[in-house]
């Protein structure tokens, strides 16, 4: 299956009771979301994003055109058994508790009671709502409702996840968690369609994006390709001595280049998360959701050929005699597991395999580049991941975060 | 099926936790015991119990009917309005399963509450004689005339067709038939029906000193030692001073007298004085019935009355005898209420499948009101339908046929006079109400909800 979502001239024209005031909400949309990619669907308010999602999911009938989702119709239970959907607001039953909510949706998937119970506990833990699992959803803050909404979208371990403004109402930690989750799900072979107008969210997690305006796609492509300024150069280093700085300035002056030099700033998001993490370490009590970074184990990893190849490569790389690798081996799980890998990792792995054929390795900027934790430490995260060392804390090392020179 | 069950259970939780049902439940919990202790009826124990069962069941029926309408209409419309359908219908559940789940949820809630309040009414009814310290005579009366289920027999109607034809032809010859009636088949039928009603009424009227004979066939009491009951009501041409009629009755197999043969079954006779336009009952030993199930009643309009006595056509006289227990009859009466609630649930789900909550409620309450006066509506439109009319034949008549007849088959009509509601009668009523009237509504709601757009276009 090449495309998880495919539309053909999808059109929605809205008219009033008398057939007047026709508004073209979606206009001949040809959308193609590949399997296993995180696709960002962007657009200002009223651009037709949500209308498109509703047509994809069978909640609205297209005026013209056709929408295929997992090569079928979204109203077919065999198809939507494989889909997870989080609408723009969580739209949950306010009188049900968090646990009952997940149980209700689990029953709709006909999950056996034992599996349901296991998944519910895992998801509640993952979204940080285990402590409030018996509170009714109506008493939840918007962020907590969002979390339980996300949990219901994952109860069936979906192949395709459609998220409409998933970070709306969430605090920075929640936002970061959702973004980490999306990345992790992508690593596990899920396809994610992310609909948002929060550009930073999309930029951080998406492989490809489409920008919608007036019901039409105005731009589409790889995020890095679309955002790259090929006429500019960015260099990030550790702290330099005044003499070295002077030399660089001299060189730049000779090149007649316009430049700015300064120390990179933390993102406010990173700073905020560090402060909250410190408070959590001090066990400051809270009535809200708790922070979690661990994804639920039941959310299956991909088992296709690509995953298998990555797993073998990861095993090969991690088999190197290293003290760190030995120290971090999961002794509880001795079965070979498909190793999570970002597209960046995959590129690197591909290059490593190419190296066997004596081809030169060229380091290129990658989409999901890990950020140096501090300005005076070299970026070793990819190497660490490949050699099996613990991944840097997601809160501190987030793909897409970059220090500006 | 599991999806339908999940939605149904969720619907019950919704009704209970959003306190929609709580209002009705609290009302019934408070009112039923108060009614049991405070209602006096005609002052007798039997009257008090009849009043309690009648008003208790009517109140329960009314409140559960309103609860059904509100819950069924709300559960579907609120899910669409508050958009919970977005998360539910994108799961592997078909839309018809979702609607059926809502319907079954409401029916489940109805069943639970109906059982609860029926048990309360039944318990209070059973305990009332003890609570009111009734004497033995009163207890014996309620045992015979209330705590029972009696089959009803109406007298054999005499064949009046020949008499009708003669009367019509005479009127025609005398030129008294209105112009145009004889040529128009519908008008002629209506005129003859009215004439037949008058002839029938004349046969149920006794002038002073005259005797009326009522004959019953197939009287088969369960126990030959038990009593039969004659239930009757008088109408009069001129009201007597004390509004009472003096009468003499002879009951038994009067054929023995005619044939002059030996008396095999006893004949009973009694004299009475009864108020006019009120139902009365008197007991007759079951051994008065002949071996072939024949029984006759002779009524004599004694000269003291000085007025014509008429037994109304519909309910002027009937014979009642024990055919089942009060408990069994009570259960069937409760099932009758349940059937009514099922229809209302189907109606409200149908309305909620395409209308907003207030409009759906308005529609349901209108139909509910009309169903409670179906007799009047049916008669009114029958007059309209006397003339050939396309609107009536193709629009109004089918709609009236779809309207359930709540006023015609009220549970109180069976329990108060301790009249048998047989399983076959209940089965037929259930079939017509559920299969012929509710099912089309359910099918329409499934089709509408399956093909409608659930979301709104927001641009």
CB B46 within 8 A of CB B129: no
Q: Which residues contact B192 (CB under 8 A, 6 or more apart)?
A: B164, B168
A108: CB partners within 8 A, 6+ apart: B3, B6, B88, B91, B92, B93
In this structure, what DSSP letter does residue A72 have? B
Give the model's pLDDT for residue A351.
Answer: 38
ipTM over 0.90: no
Question: What pLDDT is stored for residue A315 in this prediction?
Answer: 46
CB contact under 8 A, B18 and A95: yes
Contacts of B95 in chain A (CB under 8 A): 75
CB count within 10 Å of CB A277 equals 14
* B206 beta partners: B309
Pairing of β B205-206 and β B309-310: antiparallel
What CA–CA distance (Å, rounded) separates B456 from B101?
23
CB B245 within 8 A of CB B274: yes
Q: Which of A23, A53, A59 to mutate to test the interface with B (most CBs of B within 10 A)?
A: A59
Residues of B in contact with A80 (CB under 8 A): 90-92
Report in angstroms the alpha-carbon separations of B303 from A351, B109, B114, B214, B361. Answer: 123, 60, 53, 20, 59
Report yes or no: B1 at the A interface, CB cutoff 8 Å.
Answer: no
pLDDT, position A384: 42
**What is d(CA A87, CA B448) in angstroms, rounded to the nearest whole number?**
24
pLDDT digits (tens, 9 = 90+) for B140-197: 888 888 888 888 888 888 888 888 899 888 888 888 888 877 788 778 888 888 889 8
Residue A251: which H helix or E strand, with range?
helix A242-254
Closest residue by Cα to residue A178 from A197, A163, A158? A163
Give the CA-trace dihedral at A133, A139, A143, A145, to 10 degrees: 60
Q: Report the alpha-carbon distance of residue A36 to residue A190 in Å, rounded.
A: 5
* A152/B87 touch (CB, cutoff 8 Å), yes or no: yes
Collapsing DSSP states into helix, strand and coil, what is residue B272?
strand
DSSP A308-371: HHHHHHHHHHHTS--HHHHHH--TT--S--PPP--HHHHHHHHHHHHHHTTPPP-----TTPPP
DSSP B235-262: EESS--TTSEEEEEEEEE-THHHHHT--
Pairwise CB contact (< 8 Å): B459 & A48: yes
Q: Nearest by CB to A77, which of B82, B88, B93?
A: B93
Phi, psi of A246 (to 5 degrees): -60, -40
Q: For an interface test with B, give the residue of A49, A55, A107, A135 to mutate (most B CBs within 10 A).
A: A107
Which helix (H) or strand (E) segment holds residue A117: the answer is helix A113-126
A108/B92 touch (CB, cutoff 8 Å), yes or no: yes
For B433, residues 6+ apart whose C-beta sits below 8 A from its C-beta are B339, B340, B342, B343, B404
Give strand pairing partners of A164. A195
Q: Which two tokens stand for residue B122?
A: 């039944």
Q: Is A12 helix (H, G, I), strand (E, B) or coil?
A: strand
> What integer pLDDT is reported at residue A403 of this predicted model?
33
Helix (H, G, I), strand (E, B) or coil at B297: strand
Six token digits for residue B383: 């007059």
pLDDT in tens, B92-102: 999 999 999 99
Q: Which of the 8 DSSP states describes residue B287? A: G
pTM of the model: 0.74
> How far apart (Å, rounded) are the C-alpha atoms in residues B255 and B263?
10
Contacts of A108 in chain B (CB under 8 A): 3, 6, 88, 91-93
Residue in chain A nearest B4 by alpha carbon = A108
The answer to whether the CB of B228 falls within 8 A of the CB of B288 is yes
Please report residues of A whose CB lies closer than 8 A to that of B22: none
- What CA–CA distances, in Å, run from A65 to A3, A27, A278? 17, 10, 53
Beta strands in A243-312 (DSSP E): none
Q: Which three-class secondary structure state does DSSP give residue B398?
A: helix
Asked whether the beta carbons of residue B18 and residue A51 sit closer than 8 angstroms, the reply is no
Residue of B371, B408, B419, B338 lying closest to B50 (CA atoms) = B419
CA distance A311 to A302: 11
Show the tokens assigned to B348: 């409200």
Residue pair A157/A299 in contact by the 8 Å Cβ criterion: yes
Contact across the interface for B3 and A107, Cβ inside 8 Å: yes
Per residue of chain A (405 residues), what is the pLDDT tens digit?
Answer: 788 899 999 998 887 777 776 788 888 899 999 998 999 988 888 888 889 999 999 999 998 999 999 988 888 889 989 999 999 888 899 999 999 999 999 999 999 999 999 999 999 988 888 888 899 999 988 888 888 999 999 998 899 999 998 888 778 888 888 888 888 888 888 899 998 877 777 888 888 988 888 888 888 888 777 777 777 777 888 888 888 888 888 888 888 888 888 777 766 666 666 766 776 676 655 555 555 556 666 666 555 544 544 544 454 444 333 333 333 333 333 333 333 444 444 443 343 333 333 333 333 333 343 343 333 343 444 334 433 444 444 334 343 333 332
Residue B217 DSSP label: -
For residue range B429-449, what is the model confidence (pLDDT) as tens digits?
999 999 999 999 999 999 999
């Amino acid at each position: 299956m090449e495309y998880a979502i495919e539309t053909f001239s999808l059109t929605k024209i809205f008219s009033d009771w008398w057939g007047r005031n026709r508004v073209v909400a979606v206009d001949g949309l040809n959308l193609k979301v590949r399997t296993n990619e995180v696709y960002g669907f962007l657009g200002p308010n009223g651009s037709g994003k949500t209308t498109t999602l509703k047509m994809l999911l069978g909640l609205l009938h297209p005026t013209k055109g056709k929408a295929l989702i997992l090569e079928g119709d979204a109203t077919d239970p065999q198809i939507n058994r494989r889909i997870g959907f989080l609408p723009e607001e969580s739209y949950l039953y306010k009188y049900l508790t968090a646990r009952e909510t997940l149980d209700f949706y689990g029953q709709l998937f006909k999950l056996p009671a034992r599996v349901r119970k296991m998944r519910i506990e895992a998801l509640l833990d993952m979204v940080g709502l285990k402590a409030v699992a018996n509170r009714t959803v109506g008493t939840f803050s918007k962020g907590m409702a969002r979390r339980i909404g996300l949990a219901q979208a994952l109860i069936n371990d979906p192949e395709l996840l459609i998220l409409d403004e998933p970070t709306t109402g969430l605090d920075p930690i929640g936002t970061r968690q959702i973004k980490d989750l999306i990345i992790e799900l992508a690593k596990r072979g899920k396809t994610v369609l992310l609909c948002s107008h929060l550009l930073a969210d999309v930029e951080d997690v998406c492989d490809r994006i489409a920008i919608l305006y007036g019901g039409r796609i105005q731009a589409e492509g790889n995020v890095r390709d679309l955002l790259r300024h090929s006429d500019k150069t960015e260099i990030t280093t550790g702290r330099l001595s005044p003499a070295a700085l002077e030399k660089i300035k001299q060189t730049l002056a000779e090149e007649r280049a316009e430049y700015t030099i300064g120390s990179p700033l933390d993102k406010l998001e990173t700073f905020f998360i560090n402060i909250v993490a410190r408070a959590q370490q001090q066990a400051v009590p809270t009535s809200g959701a708790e922070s979690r970074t661990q994804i639920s184990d039941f959310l299956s990893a991909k088992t296709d050929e690509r995953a298998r190849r990555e797993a073998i490569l990861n095993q090969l790389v991690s088999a190197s005699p290293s003290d760190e690798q030995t120290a971090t081996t999961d002794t509880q799980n001795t079965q070979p597991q498909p190793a999570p890998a970002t597209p960046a990792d995959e590129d690197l792995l591909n290059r490593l395999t190419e190296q066997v054929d004596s081809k030169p390795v060229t380091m290129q900027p990658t989409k999901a580049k890990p950020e140096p934790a501090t300005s005076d430490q070299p970026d070793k995260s990819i190497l660490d991941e490949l050699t099996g060392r613990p991944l840097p804390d997601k809160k501190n090392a987030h793909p897409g975060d970059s220090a500006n020179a | 099926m599991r999806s339908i069950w999940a939605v149904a259970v969720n619907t019950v939780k919704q009704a209970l936790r959003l306190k929609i049902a709580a209002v009705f439940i609290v009302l019934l919990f408070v009112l039923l015991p108060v009614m049991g202790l405070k209602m006096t009826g005609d002052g007798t124990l039997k009257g008090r119990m009849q009043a309690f069962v009648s008003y208790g069941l009517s109140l329960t029926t009314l409140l559960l009917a309103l609860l059904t309408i509100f819950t069924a209409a709300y559960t579907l419309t609120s899910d669409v309005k508050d958009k919970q359908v977005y998360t539910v219908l994108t799961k592997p559940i078909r839309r018809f399963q979702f609607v059926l789940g809502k319907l079954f949820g409401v029916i489940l809630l109805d069943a639970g509450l109906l059982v609860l309040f029926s048990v309360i009414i039944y318990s209070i009814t059973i305990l009332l004689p003890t609570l009111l310290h009734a004497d033995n005579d009163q207890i014996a009366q309620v045992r015979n005339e209330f705590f029972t289920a009696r089959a009803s027999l109406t007298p054999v109607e005499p064949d009046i067709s020949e008499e009708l034809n003669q009367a019509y032809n005479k009127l025609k010859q005398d030129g008294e038939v209105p112009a145009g009636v004889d040529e128009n088949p519908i008008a002629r039928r209506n005129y003859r029906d009215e004439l037949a009603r008058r002839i029938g009424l004349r046969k149920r009227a006794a002038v002073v000193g005259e005797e009326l004979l009522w004959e019953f066939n197939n009287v088969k009491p369960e126990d030959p030692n038990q009593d039969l009951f004659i239930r009757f009501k008088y109408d009069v041409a001129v009201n007597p001073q004390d509004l009472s009629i003096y009468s003499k009755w002879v009951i038994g197999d009067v054929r023995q007298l005619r044939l002059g043969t030996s008396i095999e079954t006893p004949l009973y006779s009694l004299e009475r004085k009864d108020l006019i336009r009120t139902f009365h009952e008197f007991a007759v030993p079951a051994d008065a019935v002949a071996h072939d199930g024949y029984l006759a009643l002779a009524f004599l309009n004694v000269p003291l009355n000085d007025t014509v006595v008429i037994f109304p056509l519909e309910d002027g006289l009937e014979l009642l005898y024990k055919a089942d227990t009060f408990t069994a009859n009570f259960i069937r009466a409760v099932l009758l209420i349940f059937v009514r609630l099922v229809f209302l649930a189907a109606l409200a789900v149908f309305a909620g499948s395409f209308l907003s909550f207030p409009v759906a409620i308005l529609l349901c309450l209108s139909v509910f009101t009309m169903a409670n006066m179906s007799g009047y509506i049916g008669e009114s439109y029958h007059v309209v339908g006397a003339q050939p009319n396309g609107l009536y034949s193709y629009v109004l008549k089918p709609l009236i046929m779809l309207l359930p007849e709540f006023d015609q088959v009220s549970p109180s009509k069976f329990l108060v006079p301790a009249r048998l509601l047989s399983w076959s009668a209940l089965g037929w009523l259930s079939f017509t109400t559920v299969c012929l009237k509710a099912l089309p509504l359910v099918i329409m709601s499934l089709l509408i909800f399956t093909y409608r757009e659930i979301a709104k276009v927001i641009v």
